[in-house]
Structure 1
Amino acid sequence: MKNFPNAFVIIIGVVLFAWVLTFIIPQGSYQRITNTDTGITTVVSNSYQKMEGDHLSAFDVMLTIPNGVAGRADAIVLILLLGGCFFVIEKTGALSEGLYKIVNILQGREGLSLFIVSLLFTAAGVSIGMQEEVIAMMPVLLIFGKSMGFNTYTTLYMSYGSTVLGSAFSPSNPFGVIIAQQEAGVPLLSGSGYRLVVLGIAFLVWVIYLIRYNAKNRMKKVEASTPHEKISHNSKIILILLGLTFIIVMYGLLQLDWGFMEMSASFFTLGVVSGLLGKLGVNGTGEAYVNGFKEMIFAAMIIGLANSISMVLKEGMIIDSIVYGLFGPLQYLSASVSGVLMMVAHSILHFPIPSYSGQAILTMPILVPLSDLIGISRQTCVLAYQYGAIMGDMIVPTNGALMAILAICGIPYNKWFRFAWKPTLLMLLLGGIGIVVAIYIGYD
């Protein structure tokens, strides 16, 4: 399709469509209570009631645009500073020298490189639920992919796609599984053995699919250019610091309760140190940062604009009605059918709620009593959430990270959807089988 809308137009279009829905879907709400000790707000099950409220005016909808951007300020800051950091490192020549070395080592071993990169990004998804961070890495990943003869879809699949896979099938994703388990009232990190088995199977199927796709869609290699045959001493130090920064950030996220701001500070520091080590000077480092900001600003804004969609649905008082309509009928079905349909419903719900952590907080208090009634264990209820909601990040146009990455790669959403729906459906099918088996074996 020629002239398919770009990411900006799609997001604004969905915001307007969400506004239209507020006049069609009946308004309603669940009761909520806030824990005074933790400050966490939870939904009271079986408390849904229809109600009449004021509809959003056209100006109210326009207000959600700046408010949505402001609401994701922490993620936007991370993308800008992380992107600036990578731009500085690229200017020092360290990235190109490191890439040249890796390409030489993996020359003729494209299958192995696909496996290694996919494994690394899957591990990042498993451990920290990484997504937004991939945005700043895409320019470097695209260069690496072209050097190996991969087309853009292969590069996207082995990087962003693998982080989604890892996040969805993870036994420990802090923004998905742990939040859902906390809301479901089950011990944190419990049931990890079964999740790891399903994760291993999913990763194997994922890589086989990727290797087969790449074998049929290879492109001519574009040689990575570098002024040096060997990595300079300063470049080695910069690359080591880059690796150490990722280790520190992962430790901070998992052990120190870090958020986006701490990550931003870490990468900002790395960028400044790298610029000075790379002999860019104070002014050169500053200019490189500014140029990096310019490269990332559109992607960062897409993240903020996507947040406006859920704001319209919440302020229009229909988000709870959507949840009630999707999950209410499941109580009349068998456990196995309900479990699979629960996963499907989570995938559908992920369109209006692109934050899967927010989706867990909204739905788990409602679904746990429903699962108890149907005869589905709470662990299986969490499985249905993580497989359905998080795998949806592969295709939902309301996901700011996905749309930002597609914008950087120059891929229209319609072309990405035609590519991504098959592997996404394959993983959802695998997730559905995992849920049925969990119910059959009494997974708890």
Structure 2
Amino acid sequence: MNKFPNAFVIILSVILFAWILTFIIPKGNYQRELDTVNNRTTVVANSYEQIEAPHLSAFNALLAIPKGIAGRADLIVLVLLLGGCFYLIEKTGALNQGLNQLITLLKGKEVFALTIILLLFLTAGFTIGLQEEIIAMTPVLLLFGRTLGYNASTIVTASYGSAVVGAAFSPFNPFGVLMAQKEAELELLSGLEYRLVFLLIAVIVWTFYILRIASKNRIEKAKLELDIEELTARNKIILTLLALTFGGVTYGLIVLGWGFIEMSACFFGLGLVCGIIAGFGFNKTTEIYVEGFKEMVFACIVIGLANSISIIMSEGFIVDTIVFGLFSPLKNVPPSISGVLMTVSQAILHFPIPSYSGQAILTMPILTPLADLIGLSRQVCILAYQYGAIMMDMIVPTNGALMAVLALAGIKYNHWIKFIIKPALLILGVAAIAILIAVQIGYE
């Protein structure tokens, strides 16, 4: 298995497969209309029809690659600037000194340290849907993990994996459940209590299981290059600014409605300021920043390539056909089974639609009338969406963030699947139980 393809080859293969599917799957679409109140396009329920359209040429498939990269420009800018910022701060020695202090403090308490990482990223996932931002943090997290004696798979699971679980079970993920509730015409944050109960259950199950498998995958602890007893005054200022920036960005995301562009600006400014504080001067600061960009280029290209897959399937007019084929049979089965199958269908659909917010906008107008027809509450419909779609971010190769993190961590995709499949299925089992109970108690 040493010859297993890297992330670049895997995504190119999926792009080719997606293009071939456009010749096999019938073309069709749902009618869409502009919601002038919210200024967005919505899908008209029960409007699917097959259409005649020319096949996507090989050249158009190639065009989808630069389109995909350009279409994720805001995220790519964030990864470049955030990655460059972390790289620069690492070169100041502040991160090594800070980690040295933290490791000294946590000596003999590695399990406690890993638990803190798990809980931090679970919290980031269920509050702001943190995911892409982890890409630039990955090198630092890996360094921290090695000094604690944990391998790359364990650290990626504890960080990226935890963020996905938090986002999937969140009662107020703005890009997931809140968007789905809005599309399903439900009161925002309705059904909060039930979601909180299963969020707690999922967090407990996930944390204990990951700690268990982490104990079986220990490696020899790495030593930091620096062995300094106390932080220098300059590095104290740098780490303080880093913490304040994260706090300010989190506030901006939750309260001010910030996006990737505002985050990029904050971290770009932080990097420049930290370089000056470290005494690098403008020339050296910018040179180091450029070196940091180079470290992130592969991850950025992977993100863009992943976006190309959905572009090909959309321009080939097969996405709506896949949606119609997955969800139409659900009206022929009992509500309890339908709820679980709806989760499975949402999970499968996440392969061609790696954006779970986009998946909510596409599927909710279609599924809510179907749910009403078969006696399934709209809240259960949303549970099926958030559990099925968001949890797949841990697995699908069309997710650019996942593939970028794996590329930076040096984890082959087949090794990752082998490592993550059991905990992912365990959490999906918790999700299935949540849906079955919700149907039985008439969760509204």
Partner residue, 2:7: 7
Contact 1:74 1:261 in 2 (8 A): yes
1:228: Cα distance to partner? 2.2
**How far is the alpha carbon of 1:225 from its aligned partner?**
2.7
Tell me the distance in 1 between the aligned counterparts of 2:288 and 2:41: 42
Q: What is the one-letter code of the residue matched to 1:139?
A: P
Contact 1:22 1:55 in 2 (8 A): yes
* Alignment correspondent of 1:207: 207
Task: Give 2:219's aligned residue.
Answer: 219
Paired residue secondary structure (2:33):
strand
What are the within-5 Å matches in structure 2 for residues 211-290 of structure 1?
211-290=211-290
Amino acid aligned to 2:290:
V
Q: Distance in 1 between matches of 2:334 and 2:74?
A: 43
Give the Å deviation of 1:324. 0.3
CA separation in 2, counterparts of 1:236 and 1:188? Answer: 42
What is the aligned partner in structure 2 of residue 401 from structure 1? 401
- How far apart are 1:339 and its partner, in Å? 0.5
- Kindly provide the amino acid, as one letter, of the partner of residue 39 in structure 2: G
SS in 1 for 2:42: strand
- Matches of 2:239 and 2:440 in 1, distance apart? 48
Instruction: Give how far 1:37 is off.
Output: 3.6
1:192 aligns with 2:156: no
- Give identity over the alignment, percent: 60
Q: Following the alignment from structure 2 to structure 1, what is the Cα–Cα distance between the partners of residues 171 and 245? A: 24
1:74 corresponds to: 74
Q: Is the 8 A contact 2:393 2:399 kept in 1?
A: yes
Contact 2:354/2:399 (<8 A) preserved: yes
Which residues of 2 match residues 40-439 of structure 1 at below 5 A?
40-439=40-439
Please give the per-residue CA displacement for 1:344-371, whole angstroms capped at 9, x wherever unaligned: 1111111111111111111010001111
Matches within 5 A, 1:16-55: 16-55=16-55
Q: Which amino acid aligns with 2:317?
A: M
Output the amino acid matched with 1:69.
I
Contact 2:27 2:316 in 1 (8 A): yes
CA apart distance, 1:224: 2.1
Of 293-302 and 187-196, more deviation after overlay is shown by 187-196
SS at match of 1:228: coil
Deviations 1:154-180 (A, max 9, x none): 111111111111111111111111111
Q: Could you report, residue by residue, the CA deviation over 1:306-325 in whole angstroms, capped at 9, with x for unpaired residues?
A: 00000000100000000000
Query: Could you tell me the TM-score, scaled by structure 1's length?
Result: 0.99
- What stretches of structure 2 of length at least 5 have no aligned partner? none
Query: Match for 1:282: what amino acid?
Result: F
Instruction: Report if the CA contact (8 A) 1:100-1:225 is conserved.
Output: no
Gaps of 5+ in 1: none
Amino acid at match of 2:302: I
Q: CA deviation at 1:439?
A: 1.3
Contact 2:145 2:155 (8 Å CA) reproduced: yes
Query: Matches of 1:29 and 1:247 in 2, distance apart?
Result: 43
| Contact 2:100-2:227 within 8 A present in 1 as well | no
Give the TM-score taking structure 2 as reference length. Answer: 0.99
SS in 2 for 1:132: coil
SS in 2 for 1:41: strand
Alpha carbons 1:27, 1:317 under 8 Å: kept: yes
Look up the equivalent residue of 1:346 and give its one-letter code: Q
Whole-Å separation in 2 of the counterparts to 1:239 and 1:193? 37
1:227 Cα deviation after fit: 4.7
User: 1:284-321: CA deviations, max 9, x gaps?
Assistant: 21011101100001001111110000000010000000
Contact 2:299 2:407 survives alignment (8 Å):
yes
List structure 1 runs of 4+ shifted beyond 6 angstroms.
Answer: none
Instruction: Tell me, yes or no, if the aligned pair for 2:141 and 2:155 is still in contact at 8 Å.
Output: yes
Judge conservation of contact 1:74–1:260 (CA < 8 Å) in 2.
yes
Report how far residue 86 of structure 1 moved: 0.4
- Which residue identity is paired with 1:397? P
**1 CA distance for matches of 2:2 and 2:231?**
44
C-alpha distance in structure 1 between counterparts of 2:147 and 2:374, whole Å: 53
Query: Whole-Å Cα distance in 2 between the matches of residues 33 and 242 of structure 1?
Result: 44
Query: Which whole-Å CA distance do the structure 2 matches of 1:280 and 1:127 have between them?
Result: 36
User: Would you say the 8 A contact 2:30–2:44 is kept in 1?
Assistant: yes
SS of residue in 2 equivalent to 1:87 = helix
- For residue 437 of structure 1, what is the amino acid of its counterpart? I
Equivalent residues of 2:180, 2:360 under 8 A apart: yes
Q: How far apart, CA to CA, are the structure 1 residues paired with 2:374 and 2:278?
A: 61
Distance (whole Å) between structure 1 residues aligned to residue 288 and residue 189 of structure 2? 42
Q: Would the aligned equivalents of 2:100 and 2:228 in 1 still touch at CA under 8 Å?
A: no
Question: Is the CA contact 1:380–1:439 (under 8 Å) kept in the aligned structure 2?
Answer: yes
Find the aligned partners of 1:158 and 1:325 in 2 and give their Cα distance. Answer: 35
Deviations 1:25-55 (A, max 9, x none): 1111000001224321010000000111111
* Structure 1 Cα separation of the partners of residues 41 and 164 of structure 2: 27
The amino acid across from 1:370 in the alignment is L
Whichever residue aligns with residue 318 of structure 2, its letter is I
Q: Deviations over 1:48-103 (max 9, x none)?
A: 00111111000000000000100000000000000001011111111111111111
Farther off after superposition, 318-327 or 125-134 = 125-134
Name the CA distance, whole Å, in 2 between partners of 1:429 and 1:358.
Answer: 25
